[in-house]
Structure 1
Amino acid sequence: MPGPGRHEAAYEIVAIASSAGGVKALIEVFGALPADFPVPVVVVQHLDPRRETLLADILDRRSSLSVKLAEAGDVLRPGVVYVAPPDRHLLVESGDVAGLTVTDQVKFVRPSADLLFESVAAVHGPAALACVLTGTGSDGAAGAAAIKAGGGTVVSQDPETAEFKGMPHAVAKAVPVDLVLPLDEVAGALVGLVNGTRTV
């Protein structure tokens, strides 16, 4: 388990999931993360599958980090945010390579937070850090269970501060969440956890 004895980044990757209300929440989180954030970030935000999205551009303009739509074969780099494109599942594969698939929807959505989290858990085990923000439905709950089963850490937005409580509530029912935080404390917690200055 991560702890004060670990050096460099205490985690190797951060995976974030959001749905309804998520664009505003992601803007707040990424606007508060420093440019020297030492690990890659992968994001599933449920998007309209029939439209191209400007989400990566919007987040890139409001963040010190570099934000891009994930492409198959991307080698995940520290300080870069990879956003799942519409209607594609984003997976993290061995060697920290991004994979995109059009396999069946999971819980009626594609991209699926569950599949992303499960892939992150498989590759990174106890060095995986997952975060669930505002959203409807229960996507992310099964994936959070996979993160926990692998020894990783799960952070959730406090449902009481979420615009939509469904996803944070579902995760809290599925697993013992390590940190439940108001939205304005999420970025600071991610920084502290990754840098090893905060424990759970």
Structure 2
Amino acid sequence: MTRPIEAIVVGASAGAVQALSRLLPNLPATYPLPILVVVHVPPERSELATLFGAKCRLRVKDAEDKESIRPGYVYFAPSDYHLLVEDQRTLALSVDEPVLYSRPSVDILFESAADAFGDAVAGIILTGANEDGAAGLAAIANAGGRAIVQQPHEAFASAMPLAALARCPQAEPLTLDAIARQIEAWAS
């Protein structure tokens, strides 16, 4: 039997705001799991935490270096920083080189979350126009975690979901509505 999910990591790029707007605002303020999100954004300051903070009942913030991961929070990777999960279940920010032209990188978040949480992490790849996240989702699946991909035909940009399914064939392709139901189910 697999352990209950203790954290959810999400990666998205082109079309991310619309996809996340169908997943995050419906979660109740009492939702018990942390959700860590990487969205490919330009290096200038991102307003994603502000935008979703106004829409969501959960607490939403930009991740801070060495911050403890707390339940019921949505953490966004700040623009131009990689977001990592450390073994002590704290967050780390890095300015290491971009991965697949992206900083923040979905792969870096997902691979570090797989190392920190093992089979108690769920990874979700949403819409996007490159291959970032495919290797990270495979790392989560290989650690025994749950791997979910937005149905490519439903995605605004299908390259990221298609790459993730090719690299991680055991991932489950789901519609956004089904992903929303799954996120809610992990809380129980």
TM-score (structure 2 length as normaliser) = 0.96
1:31 aligned counterpart, secondary structure: coil
Stretch moving more, 177-186 or 82-91 = 177-186
Instruction: Name segments (4+ residues, structure 1) moved above 6 Å.
Output: none
2:37 aligned counterpart, secondary structure: strand
1:167 aligned counterpart, secondary structure: helix
Show the counterpart of 2:70. Answer: 77
Show the counterpart of 2:173. Answer: 180
1:19 matches 2:13: yes
Counterpart contact for 1:155–1:178, Cα < 8 Å: yes
Q: Choose from 156, 159, 164 the match for 2:152.
A: 159
Any stretches of 5+ residues in structure 2 without a counterpart?
none
Counterpart contact for 1:171–1:177, Cα < 8 Å: no
Counterpart contact for 1:42–1:83, Cα < 8 Å: yes
What are the Cα deviations for residues 135-181 of structure 1, in whole angstroms up to 9, with x where unaligned? 01000000011101111111111011100001100010011244211
- 1:96 offset after TM fit, Å? 1.2
Show the counterpart of 1:99. Answer: 92
Q: Identity of aligned pairs, percent?
A: 40
In structure 1, how many angstroms separate the alpha carbons of the residues matched to 2:27 and 2:169? 25
Any stretches of 5+ residues in structure 1 without a counterpart?
196-200
1:148 aligned counterpart, secondary structure: helix
Show the counterpart of 1:198. Answer: none
Aligned-CA RMSD value? 1.1
Counterpart contact for 1:17–1:131, Cα < 8 Å: yes
The equivalences for 1:10-89 within 5 A come to 10-49=4-43, 51-89=44-82
In structure 1, how many angstroms separate the alpha carbons of the residues matched to 2:173 and 2:30? 25
- 1:185 offset after TM fit, Å? 2.2
In structure 2, how many angstroms separate the alpha carbons of the residues matched to 1:34 and 1:166? 31
In structure 2, how many angstroms separate the alpha carbons of the residues matched to 1:119 and 1:191? 24
1:114 matches 2:75: no
Q: How many residues align?
A: 188
In structure 1, how many angstroms separate the alpha carbons of the residues matched to 2:107 and 2:7? 16
- 1:190 offset after TM fit, Å? 1.3
**In structure 2, what residue type is equivalent to 1:21?**
G
What are the Cα deviations for residues 78-98 of structure 1, in whole angstroms up to 9, with x where unaligned? 010110001100000122111
2:24 aligned counterpart, secondary structure: helix
In structure 1, how many angstroms separate the alpha carbons of the residues matched to 2:148 and 2:118? 16
**In structure 2, what residue type is equivalent to 1:29?**
L
Stretch moving more, 176-185 or 117-126 = 176-185
- 1:192 offset after TM fit, Å? 1.1
**In structure 1, what residue type is equivalent to 2:112?**
S
TM-score (structure 1 length as normaliser) = 0.91
2:123 aligned counterpart, secondary structure: strand
- 1:36 offset after TM fit, Å? 1.7
